[in-house]
């Protein structure tokens, strides 16, 4: 069975950190809509130009645009054994579109990371990223370097990690993304996890949640015949 996974949670919850660890351990691709948009910004494409204005304000790009990107991405061969969506879906309309894209395939597993706003603000204000290759230096990794260890470029504050933009991202999350909990929470494949623990402890909790979800799905399949 393919592992079709959504890492869900507010800005700074650790979606990217945990998705990247799962990509390594499970060998399935992490698909981050934020990274895709930032690559477009870096490349200076028309998509990037439009997205930058929206991202810098902490708003969401249009459902139509982002669903189109995901629809194309999920056609690629490397998702045959599954994928980890990081930052998508973010609205009920995106979630409905994802269900439609996956119709007839293996079930969607949703892991929600819960972290209080106070920790989110702290994490995002202390995060630094490489302006060239995008490498992330987080609060849990100690004092960030000023020069990227990967490529030697400057390490900077992400443009949407400025305090006022972070607060807007949290507001937008409450308004447009939090309703997805009600959309997903009755599914047997939904699990909520305390993300306000060390990255290793969160990872262990995710692995346990995935094991329990996959066991339930297998059992259901056996009982159906
Ligand atoms: P995106 O890049 O997806 O931003 P986000 O959802 O706000 O998520 P972040 O990357 O800030 O946080 P994360 O949860 O991945 O946490 P991370 O692991 O990095 O999107 C950016 C923008 O693009 C959006 O605002 C929007 O404009 C647009 N966009 C993207 N997708 C869209 C969509 N579907 N629809 C419309 N628009 C879309 O960790 C954060 C920090 O905390 C790091 O420093 C990390 O080291 C640290 N950390 C991680 N885990 C822990 C831990 N357990 N303890 C302590 N520190 C930790």
Q: Please check the confidence at residue 225 and state whether its pLDDT lies above 70.
A: no
Q: Can you give the residue ranges of every domain in the chain? A: 3-28+81-115+162-224
Residues with CB under 6 A from ligand 1: 9, 11-17, 33-34, 37, 54-55, 58-61, 66, 87-88, 90, 94, 123-124, 127, 136, 138-140, 160, 169, 198-199, 202
CB-CB neighbours of 190 under 10 Å: 19
Task: State the architecture of 3-28+81-115+162-224 in CATH terms.
Answer: 3-Layer(aba) Sandwich (3.40)
Residues labelled catalytic = 15, 90, 127, 158, 169
At 106, is the pLDDT very low, low, confident or very high (cuts 50, 70, 90)? very high
Instruction: Note the pTM of the prediction, 2 decimals.
Output: 0.96
* Structure token digits, residue 87: 């930052």
Average pLDDT of the segment spanning 138-158: 87
| pLDDT value at residue 51 | 95
| pLDDT value at residue 221 | 86
| pLDDT value at residue 143 | 82
Reported as a single tens digit per residue, the pLDDT across 203-219 is 999 999 999 999 999 99
Comparing 99-103, 155-159, 199-203, which segment has the lowest mean pLDDT? 155-159
Q: Please check the confidence at residue 149 and state whether its pLDDT lies above 80.
A: yes
């Amino acid at each position: 069975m393919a592992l079709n996974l959504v890492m869900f949670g507010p800005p700074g919850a650790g979606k990217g950190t945990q998705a990247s660890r799962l990509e390594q351990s499970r060998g399935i691709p992490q698909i981050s809509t934020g990274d895709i948009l930032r690559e477009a910004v870096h490349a200076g494409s028309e998509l990037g130009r439009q997205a930058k204005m929206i991202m810098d304000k902490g708003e969401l790009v249009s459902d139509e645009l982002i669903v189109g990107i995901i629809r194309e991405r999920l056609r690629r061969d490397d998702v045959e054994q599954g994928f980890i969506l990081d930052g998508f879906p973010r609205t009920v309309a995106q979630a409905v579109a994802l269900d439609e894209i996956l119709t007839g395939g293996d079930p969607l597993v949703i892991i929600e990371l819960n972290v209080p706003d106070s920790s989110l603000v702290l994490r995002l204000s202390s995060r630094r990223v490489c302006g060239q290759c995008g490498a992330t230096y987080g609060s849990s990794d100690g004092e960030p370097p000023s020069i990227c260890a990967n490529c030697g470029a400057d390490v900077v504050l992400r443009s949407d990690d400025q305090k006022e933009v972070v607060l807007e991202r949290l507001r937008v999350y409450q308004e447009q993304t939090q309703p997805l909990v009600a959309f997903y929470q009755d599914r047997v494949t939904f699990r909520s996890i305390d993300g306000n623990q060390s990255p290793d402890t969160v990872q262990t909790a995710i692995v346990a949640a995935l094991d329990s979800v996959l066991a339930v799905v297998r059992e259901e399949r056996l009982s159906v015949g």
